[in-house]
Structure 1
């Protein structure tokens, strides 16, 4: 069974310096029908205005993945990490027993556009951690590249959650197929462009929630960048 979540139906928060669309309930946006999907709790599509950002704030017991689409995201945390995350890079921060961090767009003439993803951890109270890796466009062109997993296989970042994330870029006749365990859940998010997901057309910001499916087929992409989540039910 496939359930579509259209971009325009997502929650919206516009703070001037921050424009955010929420796939699931978050902050002042509350929708009992969209509290998460399996152990995927948050997908926020954020745009941070030039010279602004999130001041220092805290998290705990959450796996937080940042995926930058445009611009750069400057990260600094209480573990001593400081880095700029740019397109093609995936950052994982394990909040565990507690961590504080800030995220800024230091550019004066460009918006930072990124996805903030939260996964429920498979256990609470772990030691906070951080990881950041780059994945080239060639790695994702016309295929689904594993970028995050519970065991860090194939060079992916390690998330302390029963989940995996694939990323892919698709144009024209490029296609991909992924076998699914029907006992698990899958979630497809179209970060940009257009693509067919199991025969259904999805546009930028759209998503598809898959239950009891044995395969995922992606085809007919037009400038598409896609994230695919394999999730615990």
Structure 2
């Protein structure tokens, strides 16, 4: 088993006033040659956007972009004609493919919005862009690893152009759980959103990240009430 631990306070940070963003991997003005990616997981940004503020229209191509709202309401508009709002409990994914233009804005004028923005390198280039959004059942995460992203259109969660599987869960203190990899050649990146846990014996606290390779199973023990995101991804594209 090979592990890479990223403590929360070692992440890059960009504070633009209206945007406070923490970068697990190199992004924008934050460049760390030791933190370029974890396999095909290229970006993991932990964003807070001020009331009424947001990202103006901008473009992406050949990237799978997953957004996970943590608090507040985020409004999305794109050149495919989609105008939507994503909230806590929603999962959004875009396949940028041959090119997409979109904007993201905090819909609220009196509170911030918090969300994760995740970029995955795709296994197919220049596909037709597409947009998808789902709402999770209110109890689906309770002491359970709920699948939210997969490579299969007929499987649970949103389908993306990569052999990757994401799971999200909320666990009570002293609960245990485990995850068996779909592909033993993949790695798993764990991002602990809240609480404390151990993963294969390695202690994690709030906003810590842990990459694990060369294993087929991960065992968890939750030391506090916790919320966790697992991203199983190929280590090479």
Fold similarity call, TM over 0.5: yes
1:183 Cα offset (Å):
1.9
2:86 corresponds to 1:85? yes
CA contact (8 A) 2:150 2:156 kept: no
Q: Secondary structure at the match of 2:165?
A: strand
Could you say which residue in structure 2 is the equivalent of 1:134? 135
CA contact (8 A) 1:143 1:175 kept: no
Distance in structure 1 (CA, Å) of the matches to 2:118 and 2:84: 18
Could you say which residue in structure 2 is the equivalent of 1:124? 125
Could you say which residue in structure 2 is the equivalent of 1:212? 214
Name structure 1 gaps, 5 residues minimum.
none
Q: Secondary structure at the match of 1:138?
A: coil
Show CA shifts across 1:42-101 (max 9, x none).
000000011100011000000000000100110000000011000111000110110000
Distance in structure 1 (CA, Å) of the matches to 2:154 and 2:113: 29
2:42 corresponds to 1:37? no
Structure 2 length as normaliser, TM-score? 0.95
1:153 Cα offset (Å):
4.3
1:137 Cα offset (Å):
3.8
2:176 corresponds to 1:175? yes
Q: Secondary structure at the match of 2:62?
A: coil
Name structure 2 gaps, 5 residues minimum.
none
Distance in structure 2 (CA, Å) of the matches to 1:125 and 1:190: 33
Could you say which residue in structure 1 is the equivalent of 2:12? 11
Task: List aligned pairs for 1:1-233, cutoff 5 A.
Answer: 1-180=2-181, 181-233=183-235
Show CA shifts across 1:124-154 (max 9, x none).
1000000000113411111111100000344
RMSD: 1.2
Distance in structure 1 (CA, Å) of the matches to 2:228 and 2:137: 14
Distance in structure 2 (CA, Å) of the matches to 1:196 and 1:97: 41
Q: Comparing 210-219 with 21-30, which one deviates more in the overlay?
A: 210-219
Q: How many residues align?
A: 233
Distance in structure 1 (CA, Å) of the matches to 2:176 and 2:86: 28
Alpha carbons of 1:221 and 1:66: their partners in 2 closer, same or farther (altered >3 Å)? farther
Distance in structure 1 (CA, Å) of the matches to 2:136 and 2:150: 14
